[in-house]
Amino acid sequence: MSSEKTQFDVLLSIRNHVDLLQQYVPQQAVVCMGEYPTKILLKENFVHKVGDALPMFVGRSSKDIIKWSQSTLNPDWALGLDEKVDTHFWFNVISFITQDNSVISRLKEKSAEKLTDAVMVSALWDGVASALLPTLTAQFKEWNINSVALGILPSKIQPSDVHFNALSSIGMYVGQEASTMLLIDRDHLEDFVGVNRDGSVIKGNILVSYLLELMIAKETLVQELSELSRSFSAKVFTVLSATGASPKIYGSLENILNTALSRPLLTFDISTASVLYVLIRMPLHLKDVFPRGKIELTIANWFREKANLKSIYVAEPVFVDEVSDRLDIVMFVGGFDTSKIVADLEKKIKDIKSEVVKKGLLKEEDWEGIVKGLSKA
């Protein structure tokens, strides 16, 4: 009798669990745009690290996205244009999705009605990604979904056409009211060397997966970072990160922060920065050793001679149940002067911009709108 009772309870438990799963609707999404970041995240099995968040991969072909996966990928998570359309330049893609909004409609059907937040990652040089980043941002705002974007600039050795896509995407994105971008450079990203929480090496662009995993682990990040961005009119941020850092090895939080400064993900003038958002992941047993207030004062003191910051927000740490003492500290530095970054890109794309306008592929007034958007970066 006891055995039968036990078996009945187990079956009931399974049935109740299934019912709960059927009722669950994700409130957070990670939207990956473009071949470059999609291949990174699929290689790192990112879909198994997102918890309750909804992973979405958007590109030219949904079949290609599924093919790139290292394991079976839910086809509902892959969205492609899936049409014979020119995707070399962003304006080709914009023209297509203006006439055929099936990608946007499919995204809304799968997720948008219940989502509250979205973290996006885009290869800014990719024709599809450069067009969809500002387009989806506008749609998310219309659907009352907060969003932030991790935008990856092309390598300096890539040709001028991809820099044209990147600069255009940035201009269209930051020109919108609801836009907060974490801007990183592909060359810096691929040169990155850091440490995982287990002591293994993080090398190159797999850092993208590591950063996104940490960002979605902090459920309030999108809301908090967006609010900071709006409050101080700081639309462009970049990332300084110290991953898997042991206080026992480095001796102090200040020394850990110094390592973050030594490997930035973008060349920028930190002295012009105005706002800072700090995200930390730490073992639970260090909660009383490094209380939030102590971390905030340490970071404020560390930045004191580096920049005249208007605001520093240290988020409540993400705690993990681990025996190690390793910390992940990610600083989102915003409000810095982007004029040199924009000027360098404008210099690279001057000829190709003139060519596409001359051929009638892009109207001069549309380009002027992009330039106006860039002035808000």
What pLDDT, in 10s, does the model give residues 117-162?
999 999 999 999 999 999 999 988 988 889 999 999 999 999 999 9
- Percent of the chain whose pLDDT exceeds 90: 76
Which of the four pLDDT bands, split at 50, 70 and 90, describes residue 351?
A: very high
User: Residue 58's closest CA among 149, 145, 146, 141?
Assistant: 149
Q: What is the pLDDT of residue 367?
A: 96
Helices then strands, counting H and E runs in the chain, come out as 15, 13
Instruction: Tell me the mean pLDDT in the region 46-59.
Output: 90
Does residue 134 belong to any structural domain of this protein?
A: yes
Does residue 185 belong to any structural domain of this protein?
A: no
For residue 28, which phi and psi values (nearest 5 degrees)? -130, 140
Does residue 154 belong to any structural domain of this protein?
A: yes
- Alpha-carbon radius of gyration of the chain: 22
Does residue 282 belong to any structural domain of this protein?
A: no
When divided into structural domains, the chain yields a total of 1
CATH number of the domain where residue 142 is located: 3.40.50.1440
What is the span of the domain harbouring residue 344? 26-179+340-377
Does residue 107 belong to any structural domain of this protein?
A: yes
Inform me whether the pLDDT recorded for 2 exceeds 50: no
Distances (CA, A) of 305 to 97, 270, 274, 309: 48, 10, 13, 10
Does residue 156 belong to any structural domain of this protein?
A: yes
The answer to whether 305 and 318 are in contact (CB under 8 A) is: no
Inform me whether the pLDDT recorded for 4 exceeds 70: no
Residue of 50 and 318 predicted with greater confidence: 318
User: Residue 310's closest CA among 373, 211, 228?
Assistant: 228
Q: What is the pLDDT of residues 67-118, one digit of tens each?
A: 999 778 889 899 888 888 899 999 999 998 888 777 777 777 765 567 889 9
Q: What is the pLDDT of residue 177?
A: 86
Does residue 214 belong to any structural domain of this protein?
A: no
Structure tokens at 295: 């971390």
Q: What is the pLDDT of residues 236-294, one digit of tens each?
A: 999 999 999 999 999 999 999 999 999 999 999 999 999 999 999 999 999 999 999 99
Instruction: Tell me the mean pLDDT in the region 350-369.
Output: 95
- DSSP letter assigned to residue 219: T
Distance CA 274, CA 366 (A): 31
Q: Which of 201-205, 299-303, 373-377 is predicted with the least confidence, judged by mean pLDDT?
A: 373-377
Q: What is the pLDDT of residue 16?
A: 54
The answer to whether 237 and 181 are in contact (CB under 8 A) is: yes
